[in-house]
């Protein structure tokens, strides 16, 4: 890792409290704003255990249920403080990646207002997120910039005169699901800090002509899903053929993470199971013009394409094969590798969804309505971000000085409270292990590194201890204070 990259990481590390990410929400009632901070702090202190176990006081539990079902409490207003903090973190940089993706939130049993998911008889709602990520080698999560939730109707594709709409008729509908991608990109760009350049990254769902139109003048890396008709040097061909014509100008190794088989047939076909391996890939770059679909003489958009294909994949394994549309330059091997690196940053949002579903276990919430479930899920977004940030800090630079991740006061508290001795000048890895021990991590019995829940729980306890530590020091510093009274 370069010195400049390390310096940028050092300047950006640090774990803010959940209170900082929730304070200042405007519901038109100061009591509701205070309740958001209290509830968020309680849930962050015991991530993944649910409302009844996380809030042991019956009256406070009843207040939590009323808060999440209150009509004044909206997901947008709850998330605004965290969004402000995220934009502030971006403002300290010159460049950031925005990863866009959608996930299904599935809930068992009948709940008022939920709808069908993508396959089977499962029910829930969809969550579309835009997550800011550091553009350097750390790929540190910076926070959630935008969210959108919706429930799908039982009849997914609208009809006219008894016939399902397709092609150009479907594209004219104002509220179709695919519109969320372009709309959220425009929302993020409208609020970004001055002087910061954003690179929008998305998976195969972003392959829509409307999305490419919205991206004109912006920076992006979007994965292709369709073998589109394109113009390659003036000749109309399919995208796959155009890629095969281009010459491989770069080869390098990429680490491929394991993936379990998906249960739903559609997902299993799109994302087949694979084993972990180091894949040797060949990379080509080319320029094409995308044709507007369903229009004979429609718009043509000039885009760069980077094609990545695995060389000699293992027997029985599908090869790594990515076709990426991008605004980034592709003239040199270094530029091609940079595009691939930007696309791989998208996987941070996959880890974020794991933190939300596994670390916070939001799909186990027993709330009875879509409105309350949506509010509860959005309330957990800053908590999931904090858990993911802890993992990022502990894994990216484990040998860096712990002072890059924790404040001097937090380190003093950790030395005093942790059951595991901490050196005078510990590393990030050592400090994060001590944090995990605070959260219940048993070093002698552990079979792997600390998980989502223990890291999150340990950090919340450290922050709570820090508040008491600071209050005690302030009391001792008052003129005339008697140490024996404390």
pLDDT per position as a tens digit, 38-76: 999 888 877 777 788 778 788 989 999 999 999 999 999
The dihedral through the CA atoms of 441, 442, 444, 445 has a sign that is negative
Q: Which residue is it, tokens 């002072």?
A: 403
Highest mean pLDDT among 8-17, 127-136, 446-455: 127-136
Q: What is the pLDDT of residue 159?
A: 55
SS3 call for 67: helix
Q: Which residue is it, tokens 């009591």?
A: 31
**Phi/psi of residue 100, nearest 5 degrees:** -110, 135
Q: What is the pLDDT of residue 461?
A: 81
Percentage of residues of the chain with pLDDT beyond 90: 52
pLDDT per position as a tens digit, 108-154: 888 999 999 987 789 999 999 999 999 998 899 999 999 999 999 87
Give the C-alpha separation, 352 to 162, whole Å: 41
Average of per-residue pLDDT across 11-30: 82
pLDDT above 70 (res 7): no
Top-confidence residue, 286 or 43: 286
Q: What is the pLDDT of residue 14?
A: 58
Q: Could you tell me the pLDDT band of residue 365, with boundaries at 50, 70 and 90?
A: very high
The H or E element that residue 7 is part of is helix 3-12
Percentage of residues of the chain with pLDDT beyond 70: 88
pLDDT above 90 (res 435): no
SS3 call for 144: strand
- Of 386, 359, 248, the closest CA to residue 311 belongs to 248
Tokens of 149: 């939730």
Query: Which of 252-256, 269-273, 299-303 bottoms out in mean pLDDT, i.e. has the lowest?
Result: 269-273
- Please, what is the end-to-end C-alpha distance for the chain in angstroms? 48
Q: Could you tell me the pLDDT band of residue 1, with boundaries at 50, 70 and 90?
A: very low
Q: Could you tell me the pLDDT band of residue 8, with boundaries at 50, 70 and 90?
A: very low
pLDDT above 50 (res 268): yes
469 C-beta neighbours (distance < 10 Å), count: 17
Highest mean pLDDT among 36-45, 186-195, 261-270, 402-411: 186-195
Question: What average pLDDT does the chain have?
Answer: 86
Ordered domains of the chain (ranges, CATH): 78-156+178-373 (3.90.350.10), 398-481 (1.10.740.10)
Q: What is the pLDDT of residue 301?
A: 93
pLDDT above 60 (res 486): no
Average of per-residue pLDDT across 411-425: 85
Average of per-residue pLDDT across 450-461: 76
SS3 call for 215: coil
State the DSSP code for 193.
P
pLDDT above 50 (res 248): yes
Top-confidence residue, 101 or 56: 101
Q: In residues, how long is the chain? A: 486
Q: What is the pLDDT of residue 160?
A: 54
Give the C-alpha separation, 434 to 29, whole Å: 40
């Amino acid at each position: 890792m370069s010195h400049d990259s390390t310096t940028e990481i050092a300047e950006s590390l640090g774990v803010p409290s959940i209170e900082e990410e929730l304070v200042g929400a405007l519901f038109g009632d100061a009591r509701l704003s205070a309740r958001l901070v209290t509830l968020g702090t309680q849930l962050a202190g015991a991530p993944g255990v649910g409302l009844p176990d996380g809030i042991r006081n019956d009256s406070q539990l009843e207040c939590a249920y009323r808060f999440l079902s209150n009509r004044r409490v909206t997901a947008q207003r709850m998330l605004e403080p965290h969004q402000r903090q995220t934009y502030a973190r971006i403002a300290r940089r010159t460049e950031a990646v925005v990863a866009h993706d959608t996930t299904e939130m599935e809930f068992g049993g009948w709940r008022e207002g939920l709808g069908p998911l993508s396959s089977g008889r499962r029910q829930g709602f969809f969550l579309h997120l835009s997550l800011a990520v550091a553009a350097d080698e750390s790929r540190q999560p910076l926070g959630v910039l935008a969210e959108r939730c919706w429930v799908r109707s039982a009849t997914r594709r609208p009809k006219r005169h008894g016939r399902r709409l397709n092609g150009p008729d479907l594209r004219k509908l104002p509220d179709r699901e695919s519109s969320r991608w372009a709309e959220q990109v425009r929302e993020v760009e409208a609020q970004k800090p001055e002087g910061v350049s954003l690179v929008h990254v998305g998976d195969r769902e972003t392959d829509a002509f409307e999305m490419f139109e919205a991206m004109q003048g912006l920076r992006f890396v979007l994965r292709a899903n369709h073998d589109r008709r394109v113009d390659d040097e003036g000749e109309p061909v399919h995208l796959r053929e155009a890629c095969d014509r281009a010459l491989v100008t770069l080869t390098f190794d990429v680490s491929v993470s394991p993936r379990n088989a998906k249960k739903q047939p559609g997902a299993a076909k799109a994302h087949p199971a694979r084993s972990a391996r180091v894949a040797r890939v060949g990379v080509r770059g080319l320029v094409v013009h995308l044709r507007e679909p369903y229009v004979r003489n429609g718009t043509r958009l000039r885009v760069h394409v980077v094609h990545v294909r695995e060389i000699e994949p293992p027997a029985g394994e599908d090869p790594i094969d990515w076709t990426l549309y991008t605004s980034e330059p592709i003239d040199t091997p270094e530029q091609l590798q940079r595009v691939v690196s930007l696309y791989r940053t998208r996987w941070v949002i996959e880890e974020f969804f794991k933190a939300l579903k596994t670390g916070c276990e939001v799909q186990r919430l027993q709330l009875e309505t879509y409105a309350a479930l949506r509010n509860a899920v959005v309330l957990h977004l800053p908590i999931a971000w904090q858990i993911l940030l802890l993992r990022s800090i502990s894994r990216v630079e484990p040998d860096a000085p712990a002072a890059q991740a924790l404040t001097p006061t937090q380190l003093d508290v950790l030395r005093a409270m942790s059951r595991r001795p901490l050196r005078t000048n510990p590393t990030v890895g050592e400090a994060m292990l001590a944090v995990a021990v605070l959260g219940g991590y048993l070093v002698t019995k552990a079979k792997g590194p600390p998980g989502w829940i223990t890291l999150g729980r340990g950090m919340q306890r450290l922050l709570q201890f820090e508040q008491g530590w600071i209050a005690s020091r302030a009391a001792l510093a008052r003129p005339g204070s008697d140490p024996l009274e404390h």
